[in-house]
Amino acid sequence: MGHMKTRFPLIAGCLLAVLAAAAPPASAAIVEVGLSPTDPTPSCPAKPCFAVSRTTGYQAKAGEQRALYTVPQDGRIVAWTISLAKPDDEQQSFFEEQFGGAASAGITVLRTGRKLYARAVATSPIQRLEPYFGSKAQFPLETSIEVKKGWVVALTVPTWAPSLAVSFGNDTSWRAASRRNGACSDLDTQVAQLKAGGIARYRCLFRTARLTYSATLVTSPTPTPAAPAPPT
């Protein structure tokens, strides 16, 4: 019996060491916020050609998918991606004349609140889009954006962007920052959230369409649980 008593703490210590070595690493994960099973194709150069203009917006529903652009876990946004149509020369000239120049976009991180209000927590640099028409372009962020679980990543378009896929069912819809009350069809007023700290109300709901963008999230690593104290 005395022999067994002296060996037990040593065996228990060895078992704890093996379990600690087998514990999963506290690594981060890469998540594409806004990714869906099917890759929606923006509308242009089909006629009519649709584009997002002078607003900040995010997808509310995409079929059975909800909260598609809600951050699932704390972390940092390191890049964003946008799928762009290729409008013809006539369509491009029309949009440039109507909406203040060359196509451009970025992302805005929103902390949503009650009654569809949202505060802009952070914004990315605005990118010129024309060189990437007809392709999917990814823009890495020189300075990543810290995000918290539950925040929303929105697309911000200060001019216009051919990044709208159409002809979906009524179970697909996106929200945009409101212009004046009841004036969701007013495309001339600039309501894009371009600076952190601003508050907007996202009352405008547009059905049967999809915004074609996503954001790359690197999640914060999960701390490794402390090993239990060895038995005495």
Helix/strand/coil (H, E, C) string of 126-164?
CEECHHHCCCEEEEEEEEEEEECCCCEEEEEEEEEECCE
Whether residue 8 is predicted with pLDDT greater than 80 in this model: the reply is no
Q: Look at residue 28 in the predicted model and tell me its pLDDT.
A: 80
Residue 147 C-alpha from the chain's centroid: 10
Distance from the first to the final alpha carbon of the chain? 17
200: burial class by Cβ within 10 Å (0-12, 13-18, 19+)? buried
Residue 175 zone, left/alpha/beta (φ > 0; ψ -120 to 50; rest): beta
Global confidence as pTM: 0.83
Give the other-Cβ count within 10 Å of 186's Cβ: 13
State the pLDDT at residue 226: 67
Residue 133, C-beta contacts closer than 8 angstroms, at least 6 positions apart: 84, 85, 86, 87, 103, 162
- Ranges of each domain in the chain: 25-219
- DSSP letters of 82-111? EE-----HHHHHHHHHHTTSS-EEEEEEEE
The model's pLDDT over 88-100, given as tens digits with 9 standing for 90+, comes to: 999 999 999 999 9
pLDDT of 10 reads: 37
Which tens digit of pLDDT belongs to each residue from 199-230? 999 999 999 999 999 999 999 987 767 667 77
pLDDT tens-digit series, residues 101-153: 999 999 999 999 999 999 999 999 999 999 999 999 999 999 999 999 999 99
Indicate the pLDDT class of residue 5, thresholds 50, 70 and 90. very low
5, 11 Cβ separation under 8 angstroms: no
Measured distance CA(15)–CA(197) in Å, rounded: 52
CA distance 176 to 160: 14
Sequence-ordered list of residues with C-beta below 8 angstroms from that of 200, at least 6 positions apart, any chain? 56, 117, 118, 120, 177, 178, 191, 193
- pLDDT tens for 59-84 read 999 988 889 999 999 999 999 999 99
pLDDT for the residue 46: 87
- Residue 14 or 46, more confident: 46
